[in-house]
Structure 1
Amino acid sequence: MSQSAEHVPLLGKTHHSRGPPIASQDRNKRDLLCLQASLLFLIVIDAIAFILLAIQTFGSSFWTFRWLGAQYTSKTFRFWALPFYGLCVKILLLLTVTLITIITPHKSQSTYSASSKWQTFKQLCNVFLLFFVYMWNVSLIILLAVDAFQLDTLFVSVNVHDRWILAHVKTANSLSLVFTVLELVNLNHLPRTSLTTFFKKKSLGRLPMQSLEGARVEDVAEGVPFSNMMCILRPYFWPKGTANRARACSTYIFLLLSKLLNLLSPLYMAKATNAIIKQDTGAAILALAIFSSMTLGSKLLKELQSLIYLKVKQTAYIELATYTYAHLHALSYDWHVHKKLGDVLRSMDRGVESANSVVSYLFLSLFPTIGEAVVVLVIFAAHFQLASLSFIAFLSLVLYAYLTITITLWRKKFREASNKHDNEYHDRATDALINYETIKYFTNEKYEVESYTDVIRKYQTQSVTVQASLSLLNSSQAFIFQMTILGSLAIAAPYVIRHEQNQSKGLEDAIEISVGDFVAISVYLNNLFQPLAFLGSIYNTIIRAIVDMQKLSELLSIEPDVMDHPHAVDVSVSEHTRTHGIPVSFRNVSFRYPRSTATDKADVKPAVGRGVRDLTFSIPAGTTTALVGETGSGKSTIGRLLFRFYECDRGEILVNKYNIRNVTQHSLRRIIGMVPQDTTLFNGTIYENIKYGNLEATFEQVESAARHAKIYDFIMKLPDAWNSRVGERGLKLSGGEKQRIAIARVVLKNPPFVILDEATSALDTLTEQEIQMALRRLQRNRTMLIIAHRLSTISHANEILVLHEGEIVERGSHEALVGREDSAYARMWHAQLLRNEALYAGDKSQISEDSEVHE
Structure 2
Amino acid sequence: MSPPASIDTLGVLRRLWPEVWRYRWRVGVALALLVAGKLAAIGVPIVLKHLVDALDITPRPLLIPLALLLAYGAFRLGMALFQELRQVVFARVLARTSRNITLRAFEHLHRLSLRFHLDRRTGGVARDIERGMTATSDLLDWTIYTILPTLLEVSLVCGILISRFDWGFAAITLATLVAYIGFTFSITEWRMRYYRAAKTADTEANECAVDSLLNYETVKYFGNEAHEQARYDAALVRYEEATVKSMKTLAVLNVGQATIVALGLTLLLWRSAQGVIAGNMTIGDFVLVNAFLLQLAAPLNYLGMVYREVKQGLINIERLFELLAEGREVDDAPAAVPLAMREGEIRFEHVEFGYQSERTILHDIDLCIPAGHTVAVVGTTGAGKSTLARLLFRFYDVSGGRITIDGQDIREVTQASLRAAIGIVPQDTVLFNDTIYYNIAYGRPTASRDEVIAAARAAHIHDFIESLPHGYDSNVGERGLKLSGGEKQRVAIARTLLKQPSILIFDEATSALDTRTEKTIQHELAEIARGRSTLVIAHRLSTIVHADQIIVIEHGRIVERGSHQQLLTDGGRYAQLWQLQQRGGRDAAVAADETVQA
Aligned partner of 2:148 among 348, 364, 367: 367
The match for 2:53 is 274
Q: Does 1:644 align with 2:394?
A: yes
Answer yes or no: is the 8 Å Cα contact 1:272–1:285 preserved in 2: no
Kindly, what percent of the aligned residue pairs are identical? Answer: 38
- The DSSP-based 3-state class of the residue aligned with 1:549 is helix
The match for 1:584 is 346
How far is the alpha carbon of 1:453 from its aligned partner?
5.2
Aligned partner of 1:795 among 541, 545, 570: 545
**In structure 2, do the counterparts of structure 1 residues 226 and 459 end up closer, same or farther at CA, with 3 Å as the change threshold?**
closer
- The DSSP-based 3-state class of the residue aligned with 2:551 is strand
**Inter-partner Cα distance in structure 1 for 2:409 and 2:220:** 50
**Inter-partner Cα distance in structure 2 for 1:227 and 1:616:** 54
**Inter-partner Cα distance in structure 2 for 1:631 and 1:741:** 25
**Inter-partner Cα distance in structure 2 for 1:770 and 1:615:** 33
**In structure 2, do the counterparts of structure 1 residues 758 and 221 end up closer, same or farther at CA, with 3 Å as the change threshold?**
farther
The 5 A counterparts of 1:665-676 are 665-676=415-426
The match for 1:731 is 481
- The DSSP-based 3-state class of the residue aligned with 1:759 is coil
Q: Does 1:252 align with 2:252?
A: no
How far is the alpha carbon of 1:435 from its aligned partner?
2.5
**Inter-partner Cα distance in structure 1 for 2:237 and 2:354:** 45
**Inter-partner Cα distance in structure 2 for 1:316 and 1:219:** 26
How far is the alpha carbon of 1:221 from its aligned partner?
5.1
- The DSSP-based 3-state class of the residue aligned with 1:609 is coil
**Inter-partner Cα distance in structure 1 for 2:114 and 2:232:** 32
The 5 A counterparts of 1:474-623 are 474-499=254-279, 512-573=280-341, 577=343, 582-594=344-356, 608-623=358-373
Which string of whole-angstrom CA distances, capped at 9 and with x for unpartnered residues, describes residues 398-423 of structure 1? 22122222332333233233323433
Which string of whole-angstrom CA distances, capped at 9 and with x for unpartnered residues, describes residues 800-839 of structure 1? 2222333322222222222223x22222222223322332
**Inter-partner Cα distance in structure 2 for 1:695 and 1:619:** 29
Q: Does 1:838 align with 2:581?
A: no
Q: Does 1:295 align with 2:57?
A: no
Which string of whole-angstrom CA distances, capped at 9 and with x for unpartnered residues, describes residues 732-759 of structure 1? 1111111111111111111121011122
Answer yes or no: is the 8 Å Cα contact 2:436–2:474 preserved in 1: yes
Q: Does 1:311 align with 2:92?
A: yes
Aligned partner of 1:828 among 553, 574, 577: 577
**Inter-partner Cα distance in structure 1 for 2:318 and 2:100:** 18
**In structure 2, do the counterparts of structure 1 residues 700 and 228 end up closer, same or farther at CA, with 3 Å as the change threshold?**
farther
**In structure 2, do the counterparts of structure 1 residues 345 and 809 end up closer, same or farther at CA, with 3 Å as the change threshold?**
same
Q: Does 1:341 align with 2:122?
A: yes
Answer yes or no: is the 8 Å Cα contact 1:756–1:786 preserved in 2: yes
Which string of whole-angstrom CA distances, capped at 9 and with x for unpartnered residues, describes residues 621-649 of structure 1? 11111112233332222211211112223
The match for 1:332 is 113
**In structure 2, do the counterparts of structure 1 residues 587 and 453 end up closer, same or farther at CA, with 3 Å as the change threshold?**
closer
- The DSSP-based 3-state class of the residue aligned with 2:570 is coil
- The DSSP-based 3-state class of the residue aligned with 1:719 is coil
Answer yes or no: is the 8 Å Cα contact 1:224–1:553 preserved in 2: no
**In structure 2, do the counterparts of structure 1 residues 222 and 808 end up closer, same or farther at CA, with 3 Å as the change threshold?**
farther
Q: Whose RCO is larger (CA < 8 A, sep 6+)? A: 2
The 5 A counterparts of 1:438-477 are 438-449=218-229, 452=232, 455-456=235-236, 459-460=239-240, 462-477=242-257
How far is the alpha carbon of 1:456 from its aligned partner?
4.0
**In structure 2, do the counterparts of structure 1 residues 312 and 226 end up closer, same or farther at CA, with 3 Å as the change threshold?**
closer
The match for 2:185 is 405
**Inter-partner Cα distance in structure 2 for 1:472 and 1:752:** 67
**In structure 2, do the counterparts of structure 1 residues 461 and 651 end up closer, same or farther at CA, with 3 Å as the change threshold?**
closer
How far is the alpha carbon of 1:286 from its aligned partner?
2.9
Which string of whole-angstrom CA distances, capped at 9 and with x for unpartnered residues, describes residues 189-247 of structure 1? xxxxxxxxxxxxxxxxxxxxxxxxxxxxx9575545767623542256312xxxx4322
Answer yes or no: is the 8 Å Cα contact 2:346–2:370 preserved in 1: yes
Residue identity matched to 2:26:
R
**In structure 2, do the counterparts of structure 1 residues 443 and 343 end up closer, same or farther at CA, with 3 Å as the change threshold?**
closer
The match for 1:238 is 21
The 5 A counterparts of 1:383-422 are 383-385=164-166, 387-422=167-202
Answer yes or no: is the 8 Å Cα contact 2:427–2:508 preserved in 1: yes
Answer yes or no: is the 8 Å Cα contact 1:228–1:553 preserved in 2: no
- The DSSP-based 3-state class of the residue aligned with 1:588 is strand
TM-score (norm 2): 0.92
**Inter-partner Cα distance in structure 1 for 2:137 and 2:501:** 44
Residue identity matched to 2:278:
R
**Inter-partner Cα distance in structure 1 for 2:80 and 2:455:** 63
**Inter-partner Cα distance in structure 2 for 1:312 and 1:728:** 35
**Inter-partner Cα distance in structure 2 for 1:310 and 1:663:** 42
Aligned partner of 2:376 among 621, 626, 634: 626
Residue identity matched to 2:306:
I
**Inter-partner Cα distance in structure 2 for 1:711 and 1:494:** 92
- The DSSP-based 3-state class of the residue aligned with 2:334 is coil
**In structure 2, do the counterparts of structure 1 residues 231 and 439 end up closer, same or farther at CA, with 3 Å as the change threshold?**
same
Answer yes or no: is the 8 Å Cα contact 2:384–2:556 preserved in 1: yes
Answer yes or no: is the 8 Å Cα contact 1:586–1:615 preserved in 2: yes
Aligned partner of 1:358 among 139, 157, 164: 139
Which string of whole-angstrom CA distances, capped at 9 and with x for unpartnered residues, describes residues 312-349 of structure 1? 22222332222222222122222122111111111111
How far is the alpha carbon of 1:474 from its aligned partner?
2.0
Which string of whole-angstrom CA distances, capped at 9 and with x for unpartnered residues, describes residues 410-467 of structure 1? 3323323332343344333323322322333333445544554565465445444433
How far is the alpha carbon of 1:787 from its aligned partner?
1.0
- The DSSP-based 3-state class of the residue aligned with 1:627 is strand
**Inter-partner Cα distance in structure 1 for 2:76 and 2:161:** 20
**In structure 2, do the counterparts of structure 1 residues 420 and 312 end up closer, same or farther at CA, with 3 Å as the change threshold?**
closer
The match for 1:70 is none
- The DSSP-based 3-state class of the residue aligned with 2:531 is coil
Answer yes or no: is the 8 Å Cα contact 2:131–2:316 preserved in 1: yes
**In structure 2, do the counterparts of structure 1 residues 269 and 467 end up closer, same or farther at CA, with 3 Å as the change threshold?**
same
TM-score (norm 1): 0.65
**Structure 1 runs not aligned, ≥5 long:** 1-217, 500-511, 596-607, 844-855
Residue identity matched to 2:47:
Y
**In structure 2, do the counterparts of structure 1 residues 766 and 537 end up closer, same or farther at CA, with 3 Å as the change threshold?**
farther
How far is the alpha carbon of 1:722 from its aligned partner?
1.2
Aligned partner of 2:158 among 362, 366, 377: 377
Answer yes or no: is the 8 Å Cα contact 2:8–2:314 preserved in 1: no
**Structure 2 runs not aligned, ≥5 long:** 593-598
The match for 1:813 is 563
Q: Does 1:686 align with 2:448?
A: no
How far is the alpha carbon of 1:254 from its aligned partner?
0.6
Q: From the CA coordinates, give the structure whose radius of gyration is larger.
A: 1
Which string of whole-angstrom CA distances, capped at 9 and with x for unpartnered residues, describes residues 592-641 of structure 1? 3356xxxxxxxxxxxx5133233222111111111122333322222112
- The DSSP-based 3-state class of the residue aligned with 1:610 is coil
* Higher deviation after alignment, 272-281 or 668-677: 272-281
* Higher deviation after alignment, 548-557 or 289-298: 289-298
How far is the alpha carbon of 1:764 from its aligned partner?
4.7
Q: How many residues align?
A: 591
- The DSSP-based 3-state class of the residue aligned with 1:530 is helix
Answer yes or no: is the 8 Å Cα contact 1:261–1:295 preserved in 2: yes
How far is the alpha carbon of 1:658 from its aligned partner?
2.3
**In structure 2, do the counterparts of structure 1 residues 647 and 428 end up closer, same or farther at CA, with 3 Å as the change threshold?**
closer
Which string of whole-angstrom CA distances, capped at 9 and with x for unpartnered residues, describes residues 496-537 of structure 1? 2112xxxxxxxxxxxx43222221111111111111223343
Which string of whole-angstrom CA distances, capped at 9 and with x for unpartnered residues, describes residues 28-63 of structure 1? xxxxxxxxxxxxxxxxxxxxxxxxxxxxxxxxxxxx
**Inter-partner Cα distance in structure 1 for 2:362 and 2:229:** 45
The 5 A counterparts of 1:740-755 are 740-755=490-505
Residue identity matched to 2:347:
S
**Inter-partner Cα distance in structure 1 for 2:523 and 2:561:** 26
